[in-house]
Structure 1
Amino acid sequence: MGDTLKDAHRAMWASGDYPSLASEIIPELGEVLAEAAGVTAGTRVLDVAAGSGNAAIAAALAGADVVASDLTPELLQAGRDDAARRGAKLEWKEADAEALPFGDGEFDTVLSCVGIMFAPYHQASAGELVRVCRSGGTIGLINWTPEGFIGQMFGVMKPYAPPPPEGAQPPPLWGRPEHVEALLGDRVTGVEFEKRTVRVERFGKPEEFRDYFKSRYGPTIAVYRRIAGDPEKVAALDAALADLARDQDVGTSGLVLEWEYLLATARKR
């Protein structure tokens, strides 16, 4: 990833308040991933594209020796603060998922919880996941599926977003088993996939969901900034995001959403 693109990604994820979104909406995902990957006391763990440490802190609280890496310093600082509040001890390292500053086979377990999917060049970041994992070690991933709510949300935003860099792939592809299998290739064995959902009951109505993401979620903020000078486009996106939540509502009182994700685990050969 070129420096300009890296800077843009840092700025996007530093905007809004992703740490509060992660802790308020999907706090359980990190624990789900750490457990699925078999993280135990003494395991040497790397969380890639860790954000504010959803999975990294869960792994540290399980007794693992953890490094949380992310491109965005502001997210790492929020993670440090959260870890201190929760009594979790781990290392925080600024790092690009497509060029990790760690040695070959340095970790027993390599995790990423709805993080690595946002690195634009999927094969590069997948190669790094495998490289830094030891032979026989575990790779564990949670990614939003294309068909699930967040994948659909990216589809709604796409017409208003800037064109992706040449060669970049859409984040929700990481939620397709065949895509993950192709990325990891024959360097891993025992690949297992499971589609699950996280139940979101944080919002009273569709407009609350939309406004929350408009103010806190970097990718949504970036899209709205791009169309800020066009009131018609802003109104259209406002309506489309609220409609998505309305259409996906499975509740009978208040807004209830089921966000689908792909849980993937594999062992390095």
Structure 2
Amino acid sequence: MIEEREQDAAVKARHRTMWAMGDYAAVAAQVIPELGATLVRAVGVGPGMRVLDVAAGTGNAALPAARTGAEVVAGDLTPELLAIGQASAEREGVTLTWEEADAEALPYADGAFDAVLSCVGVMFAPRHRVAADELLRVCRPGGTIGLVNWTPEGFVGQLFAAMRPYAPPPPPGAQPPPLWGDEDHVRELFGDRVDALTLGRDAVVVNRFATPGQFRDFFATHYGPTVAVYRANAGDPERTVGLDRALTELAARHLAGGVMRWEYLLVTARRA
């Protein structure tokens, strides 16, 4: 048991370090700025609601939720991201609470929130069942769970597939993040603990990159998971060239006229 706790702590420490790499705030603001607001609208967040944004990052969903007048808590494993989000909220004059919180062990009471959200966040918790259990636990009966998850078949799912041969092996028991974008997987995770489950695929339009090389360079320096993979191969020029090629070719297949479409799964469910 002690060994398991130590292993879990080491995994969480690596996740914190990975997401603090690069500049995720720039990714959220420049590449997917409206994705959180899309989730907030789908869930119907409004004044007076108690809302938790799980794996909130810099507040892509938490900030638009707070703008509706909801009482929002933004929780994330990485304090560096929370600090950036909090500074943005203060500049804007938006009030919400920012707290360090592990999606697999949320520090909140059962049924504490009317709505529990996560915008391409909780999908990166390594143990999907544990994370799903926590989303359900902190949502009150009759409350709403709302998620946006990248799909395995979409661009970001394919990005992780392209990086996999160059990445260190995942920790034991970890599941691939894009599985959260598979409808059957989500149904299995939630089961009969939810009703009014809706699952719909859509795509965010990304017009940030004029060329495949621009995408590769931006993600190699800004997106934590990609930065981490590049660092893992920094001592091997041949593998670094192969990683460059894999990301450039991926972007070339998806980029047309300076526009990409990144598919996601929008999930809403009522806690039974």
- Which of the five TM-score ranges fits, normalised by the shorter chain? over 0.9
Structure 1 residue runs of 4 or more that deviate by more than 3 Å after TM superposition:
none
Q: Deviations over 1:242-266 (max 9, x none)?
A: 1111111232xxx211000000000
Alignment of 1:110-259 (within 5 A): 110-251=116-257, 255-259=258-262
Q: 2-side partners of 1:25 and 1:247: how far apart?
A: 18
TM-score (norm 2): 0.97
Give ranges in structure 2 of 5+ residues lacking alignment: 1-6
Return the alpha-carbon distance in structure 1 between the equivalents of residues 183 and 89 of structure 2.
Answer: 32
How many residues matched? 266
| Residue identity (%) | 60
Name the structure 1 match of 2:3.
none
* Structure 2 partner of 1:266: 269
1:86-117 Cα distance to aligned partner (Å, 9 max, x none)? 22110001010000000000000000000000
For residues 124-165 of structure 1, the C-alpha deviation after alignment (integer angstroms, 9 at most, x for no partner) is 000000000000000000000000000000000000001111
User: What amino acid sits opposite 1:109 in the alignment?
Assistant: A
Report SS of the residue matched to 1:2: helix
Cα displacement (A) at 1:4: 0.8
1:47 aligns with 53
Q: Does 2:111 align with 1:105?
A: yes
Pick aligned residue for 1:22 from 4, 14, 28: 28
Corresponding letter in the other structure for 2:246: A
Q: State the SS of the aligned residue for 2:61.
A: helix
Contact in 2 for aligned 1:250/1:258 (Cα 8 Å): no
Q: When the two structures are superposed, what TM-score results if normalisation uses the length of structure 1?
A: 0.98
Are the aligned partners of 2:211 and 2:255 in contact in 1 as well (CA < 8 Å)?
Answer: no
Distance apart, 1:174 and its partner CA: 0.3
Distance in 2 separating the partners of 1:10 and 1:166: 18
Residues 145 and 175 of structure 1 are in contact (CA less than 8 Å); yes or no, is this contact kept in structure 2? Answer: yes
Q: Does 2:11 correspond to 1:5?
A: yes
Equivalent-residue separation in structure 1 for 2:255 and 2:9 (angstroms): 40
Q: Name the amino acid aligned to 1:15.
A: M
Task: Map Cα deviations across residues 49-80 of structure 1 (whole Å, 9 max, x no partner).
Answer: 00001000010001100000000000000000
